[in-house]
């Protein structure tokens, strides 16, 4: 009698496992002919100016970008930065080079101007640490296939800060955050 009870329990558990797996598979793929649910993206970042002060004096080493499901990302690598990195990020009607005031055309439906409190040169030697030229696209940054980012332009490195123009599809929400020695600017794909 005990063997029969054990066998019945095994069948019940096995059946539950099969049904549970079938339910999970159906939930993952959905009914035939439908697509997976869309990614929900938080866009409560706003599009107003964002800034922070910081006492960083380390030079900018590089700039890179990345594509994500809900936003495009630009990362400023400030090698050896300790503590808070200062920044000032906001939309502008036209991008003007810091220092000279010369207008630099930036492609896209809107221009996000980024100031990072890190020079593109070593302050102690004057040697360039980030090889960018005024008015030119950022070196090594390829925006092919990006949903939101459309263009980049180097403005200047003037009085201890670096200026970049980021052309985006439209005036979309953005956020700025710091992770270690990196300053990160994310621009959402939608409102």
SS3 annotation, 126-177: CCECCCCCCCCCCCCCCCCCCCCEEEEEEEEEECCEEEEEEEECCCCCEEEE
The Cα 180–Cα 61 span in angstroms is 14
Percent of the chain with pLDDT over 90: 69
Beta bridge partners of 186: 73, 175
Contacts of 49 by beta carbon, 8 Å cutoff, 6+ apart: 88, 89, 90
**Residue 181 or residue 8, greater confidence:** 181
The Cα 119–Cα 70 span in angstroms is 30
* DSSP three-state, residue 93: coil
pTM summary value: 0.79
Q: Is the pLDDT of residue 16 over 90?
A: no
Model confidence over 121-169: pLDDT tens digits?
Answer: 998 899 999 999 999 999 999 999 999 999 999 999 998 999 999 999 9
pLDDT of residue 31: 42
* DSSP three-state, residue 107: coil
pLDDT of residue 13: 39
- Burial class from Cβ neighbours inside 10 Å (0-12, 13-18, 19+) for residue 60 reads buried
Distances (CA, A) of 146 to 105, 171, 187: 19, 16, 11
The Cα 18–Cα 21 span in angstroms is 5
Sign of CA dihedral 8, 11, 14, 16: negative
């Amino acid at each position: 009698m005990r063997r029969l009870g054990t066998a019945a329990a095994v069948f019940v558990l096995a059946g539950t496992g099969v049904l549970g797996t079938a339910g999970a598979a159906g939930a993952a793929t959905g009914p035939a002919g439908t697509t997976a649910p869309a990614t929900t993206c938080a866009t409560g970042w706003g599009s107003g100016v964002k800034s922070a002060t910081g006492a960083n004096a380390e030079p900018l080493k590089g700039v890179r970008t990345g594509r994500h499901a809900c936003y495009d990302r630009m990362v400023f690598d400030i090698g050896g930065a300790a503590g808070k990195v200062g920044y000032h990020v906001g939309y502008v009607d036209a991008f003007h080079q810091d220092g000279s005031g010369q207008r630099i055309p930036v492609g896209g439906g809107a221009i996000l101007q980024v100031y990072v409190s890190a020079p593109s040169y070593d302050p102690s030697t004057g040697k360039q640490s980030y090889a960018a030229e005024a008015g030119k696209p950022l070196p090594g940054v390829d925006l092919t296939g990006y949903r939101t980012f459309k263009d980049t332009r180097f403005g200047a490195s003037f009085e201890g800060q670096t200026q970049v123009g980021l052309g985006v599809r439209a005036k979309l929400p953005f956020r700025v955050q710091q992770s270690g020695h990196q300053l990160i600017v994310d621009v959402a794909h939608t409102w």
